[in-house]
Structure 1
Amino acid sequence: MLEYVKTILQKVSFNKHLFERELIKGIRYLMPAELEEFKDWCYDSFGLSHRPILNRYFRPAY
């Protein structure tokens, strides 16, 4: 499921509204063990373009 969610986010990353909607779905679908890897991947892949959205749904790491 993790790879599927990553693929979807890559395809909708051009639109912030679609990106946010699919991010929410992805977080719901993933197992707790996958969420940390998913979070890291999201910040690595979309941190520059979608950081405010990511910060809304992931706790910032201090």
Structure 2
Amino acid sequence: MPRMIYDYTKSVLERVSFDPNLFRKELRKALKALLPYELEQLKKWLDYFTNNRPDLKACVSVLD
């Protein structure tokens, strides 16, 4: 079940990536829903996903 939440979180983040405020909001929700090891995986995925999106790169600091 937790794997489904992780995949769902990634798909939501991809869909709201047009708006940094929504992206940040969804990241905050992910902090509450995901397990610690899933958060580590999400951080790695976010590093890749936001590589060419400087407006979203700043939002990743929510996870730290």
TM bracket, shorter-chain basis: 0.7 to 0.9
Report the counterpart of residue 23 of structure 2 in structure 1.
19
* Residue among 35, 43, 46 paired with 1:42: 46
Mind listing any 5+ residue stretches in structure 1 that lack a counterpart?
A: none
Report the counterpart of residue 57 of structure 1 in structure 2.
62
TM-score of the superposition, structure 2-length normalised? Answer: 0.80
Q: CA deviation at 1:12?
A: 0.3
Please list every run of at least 4 consecutive aligned residues from structure 1 whose deviation after the TM superposition is greater than 2 angstroms: none
- Root-mean-square deviation (CA, aligned residues, Å) is 1.2
Q: Give the percent of matched residue pairs that are identical in Structure 1 and Structure 2.
A: 31
TM-score of the superposition, structure 1-length normalised? Answer: 0.83
